[in-house]
Amino acid sequence: NAGVMQNPRHLVRRRGQEARLRCSPMKGHSHVYWYRQLPEEGLKFMVYLQKENIIDESGMPKERFSAEFPKEGPSILRIQQVVRGDSAAYFCASSPRVGQHTGELFFGEGSRLTVL
Amino acid sequence: DQQVKQNSPSLSVQEGRISILNCDYTNSMFDYFLWYKKYPAEGPTFLISISSIKDKNEDGRFTVFLNKSAKHLSLHIVPSQPGDSAVYFCAASPGDFNKFYFGSGTKLNVKP
């Protein structure tokens, strides 16, 4: 399956713990987006990355959240000291590099974070 | 800061009839518009798109209309099928594709 792979699909954390969500883009894609969907709401942009570079992080909360997309390995969204309000579905999407981008995003199935 | 709005949270349509989903946007810099379909517990999947140089794009049963002066787009599904029952999101981008803004979604229910 060459689709966007996210893991874990479900993650339960207690308040104050750390959550790490991983995303492997589609084969041949070098750009990754992270979106968050709160219950009963739409998708909110968080961050846009290419390999080893953050292009746009204007949607990331200023504290506790960070994202990376290393040269090797998946993109990681890290949430430190989680709070109940972080409970949401986190979706990763990938796209080809600039010049090949058709505007279509390819989404993974999401990681559902529950903070107790 | 909701730049893309879908004002109808839900829509119910009889099988075989037309479904019309609406979307409004506020940012005149948006250059590219897309519709995504989402089933429960799955990620959104791309349905159809349109660039601002066009006012209509058709793909099978799906047609997207863009009215730039009104900053409004709509998705028409005809004929509607029960398998079309899902949440539909519209999205917009300034064209650099650095960021896509999504609406809050419309839940479509197609009744057999």
pLDDT digit string (tens) for B30-52?
A: 999 999 999 988 999 999 999 99
Find the mean pLDDT for residues A31-54.
Answer: 91
* A107/B101 CB distance under 8 A: no
- As a whole-number percent, the residues of chain B with pLDDT over 70 amount to 99
Res A110: pLDDT: 96
**B 68-87 near A (Cβ less than 8 A):** none
Name the average pLDDT for chain B.
Answer: 94
What is the C-alpha separation between B42 and A90, in angstroms, rounded? 11
Segment A46-103, tens digit of pLDDT: 999 998 899 999 999 999 999 999 999 999 999 999 999 999 999 999 988 766 667 7
> Which chain B residues are closer than 8 Å to A114 by Cβ?
none
pLDDT > 70: percent of chain A: 94
Q: A9 or B95: which carries more pLDDT confidence?
A: A9
pLDDT at B17: 97
Nearest CA in chain A to B93: A103
Closest to B99 (Cβ–Cβ): which among A56, A102, A107? Answer: A56
Q: Are residues B43 and A110, on separate chains, in Cβ contact within 8 Å?
A: yes
**Amino acid at the residue B95:** G
Is the alpha carbon torsion for B57, B62, B64, B65 positive or negative? positive
pLDDT for res B18: 98
Which residue stretches of B44-88 are H helix? none
Reply yes or no on whether the pLDDT at A1 is more than 60: no
- Nearest 5°: the CA angle A81, A77, B47 is 135
Q: Say what the pLDDT of residue B1 is.
A: 65
Region at B92 (left for phi over 0; alpha for psi -120 to 50; beta for the rest):
beta
Contact A33 B44 (CB under 8 A): no
Q: Which of B44, B64, B39, B37 is nearest to B52 (CA)?
A: B64
Q: Distance between CA atoms of A107 and A96, rounded to whole angstroms?
A: 13
Query: Looking at the predicted structure, is the pLDDT value of residue B63 above 80?
Result: yes
pLDDT of residue A42: 86
**How many CB atoms neighbour CB A104 within 10 A?**
17
Question: Mean of the pLDDT values across residues A5-12?
Answer: 97
Q: Do A42 and B46 touch (CB under 8 A)?
A: no
Give yes or no for B32 touching A (CB within 8 A).
yes
- Structure confidence at residue A30 (pLDDT): 87
Task: Report whether B5 contacts B104 (CB < 8 A).
Answer: yes
CB of B33 closer than 8 Å to CB of B53 = no
A1 close to B (CB below 8 A):
no
